[in-house]
Amino acid sequence: MEKFILRNTIIDLLLRIEQDSGYSHLLIDKEIKKQHISPKDEGLLTEIVYGTINRKITLDYYINHFVKAKKKMEPWVIMLLRMSFYQMIYLNKVPDHAIIHEAVEIAKRRGHKGISSLVNGVLRNVQRNGVPSTSLIEDEVERLAVETSHPTWLVKRWIKHYGDEMTKQMCEANLTQKAHSIRVQPLKISRDEAMEQLINEGYEVRPSIFSEQGIIIDKGNILKSALFKNGYVTIQDQSSMLVGEMLQPKPGMQVLDACSAPGGKVTHIAEKMENKGWIDAHDLHAKKIKLIDQKASELELTIIDAKKADARHLQELYEENSFDRILVDAPCSGLGVIRGKPDIKYNKKISDITNLATIQLAILNSVSPLLKKDGVLIYSTCTVDPEENEEVVKKFLQQNTDYLVDKSFFNDLPQGIQDSPGVTELGLQLFPQTFQTDGFFLTRFIRTT
Ligand SMILES: C[S@@+](CC[C@H](N)C(=O)[O-])C[C@H]1O[C@@H](n2cnc3c(N)ncnc32)[C@H](O)[C@@H]1O
């Protein structure tokens, strides 16, 4: 693909992601398919788009130093500067002179001579003099926000909950790559066999401590492996594997998964049940139901019945005491998965968190009568916000006196995770920096009467 077209595509993608508050990963996938982008260019495009979004606040701090009237600039010029700065500061794949040349070409074709001179001047200045130091920012919180490209309100919120050091670690971890992990389908292959096969194919792998089915991929693209293509393994973050483990489903049980799409956890549960018993899986969005069916079919699991339903009203569909196990993997702010979906940190507002907490509690309250006595209910989210996690747990316990947090949950956690910094009497908060997983919360309730 001509370099100009690739760079232009990147600008259009960045504009769309910012203007529509669209999920970057979905828009990137769509564009790659639409434009028939080659695997080599796909890697570069993904790296520049994600990197530019992930470092947006830092990049703007640098750009503001060179451009006084940034507010008056057209959005595409700002994107062009951001992606050029990103490449010059953080990537060493393309030499600076080539980055400047391409940026000036784009500015000429998309704009006019005035803009191309400005772009040329600014980028040459960066090439000659580098970018200003963030140590010029006096306020410590503001400095951390700029250095790690997080909104100040979020940094302040995390400092209030977790203190300075944890917040710094979390913000910095959000700029790194998480560990890539897969889960084996144990009815088709054992973990040892899968690891051996992957090693023979040139992958670098190691077992996960989160689940006996988990494998960490240190090197190699799993999408290319025969094991993945033939449904012997599926991609899943290690933190999510903990849900299937801690739910302790057994063959023959009746299980409810209230918020199931795209089906990562429900298929794990079906595997643990040896594909025997019954699972009712629901999601609010009809179009996502086929994702659950597709994942179940890839993994050759047949006990999952996926249907659209609003989990806040499941009492209308089922009788009381119907299930042995219930999973509420609730819709959440996603503040634990920022490093995979960096746009989340700019799009979320405090009011979103409050609204989600209301929905999370409503879902838990709706399913609570459906569990049998001594049954197990897992509540999980992929966020690090206590208002959606521990606070929801507290309110649920206040409103459902027949439920307790299961004390054996903590002993059942895998060795190495039991003493992790996020363990409280209300559950386990995993932070992105601790095990290189997603930020994730889970707890286990039992119904006592
Ligand atoms: C965290 S995701 C679930 C991920 C899934 N458990 C997995 O492991 O693949 C939350 C899901 O809840 C769904 N959702 C949101 N509001 C819902 C509601 N009121 N009832 C049921 N599902 C809902 C979303 O569409 C989303 O697919």
CATH of 238-447 given 3.40.50.970, 3.40.1410.10, 3.65.10.10, 3.40.50.150: 3.40.50.150
- Mean pLDDT, to the nearest integer, of 226-235? 96
The class that CATH gives domain 180-235 is: alpha beta
Cα–Cα distances in angstroms (integers) from residue 333 to residues 41, 158, 309, 359, 403, in the given order: 31, 14, 21, 12, 25
Sequence ranges of the chain with CATH classification 3.40.50.150 = 238-447
264 is in an annotated binding site: yes
416 is in an annotated binding site: no
At 55, which amino acid appears? R
Ranges 15-19, 131-135, 358-362, 398-402: which has the least confidence? 15-19
Ligand 1, pocket residues at CB < 6 Å: 240, 258-265, 282-285, 288, 310-312, 329, 331
What Rg, from alpha-carbon coordinates, does the chain have?
24
Catalytic residue positions, numbered: 382
* Token pair of 117 as six digits: 């001179």
- Which amino acid residue places its CA nearest to atom 2 of ligand 1? 331
Sequence ranges of the chain with CATH classification 3.30.70.1170 = 180-235
Cα–Cα distances in angstroms (integers) from residue 308 to residues 182, 284, 356, 377, in the given order: 27, 6, 20, 21
Q: How far apart are CA 348 and CA 372, in angstroms?
A: 37
pLDDT, tens digit, for every residue of 236-290?
999 999 999 999 999 999 999 999 999 999 999 999 999 999 999 999 999 999 9
Sequence ranges of the chain with CATH classification 1.10.940.10 = 3-132
- Which amino acid residue places its CA nearest to atom 23 of ligand 1? 284
Give yes or no for residue 36 having a pLDDT over 80.
Answer: no
Query: Which residues have CB under 8 Å from 128's CB, separation 6+?
Result: none
pLDDT, tens digit, for every residue of 410-449?
999 999 999 999 999 999 999 999 999 999 999 999 999 9
Query: Which residues have CB under 8 Å from 166's CB, separation 6+?
Result: 158, 421, 431
Q: What is the ipTM of this complex?
A: 0.99
386 is in an annotated binding site: no
Between the CA of 282 and the centroid of ligand 1 the distance, in Å, is 8
Per-residue pLDDT, 395: 98
178 is in an annotated binding site: no
Per-residue pLDDT, 21: 67
Query: What angle do the packed helices 24-34 and 39-54 form, to 10 degrees?
Result: 150
- Domain 3-132 belongs in CATH node 1.10.940.10: yes
| DSSP character at residue 1 | -
Mutate to test the pocket of ligand 1, among 259, 265, 299, 383 (most ligand atoms within 8 A of CB): 259
Mutate to test the pocket of ligand 1, among 241, 283, 364 (most ligand atoms within 8 A of CB): 283
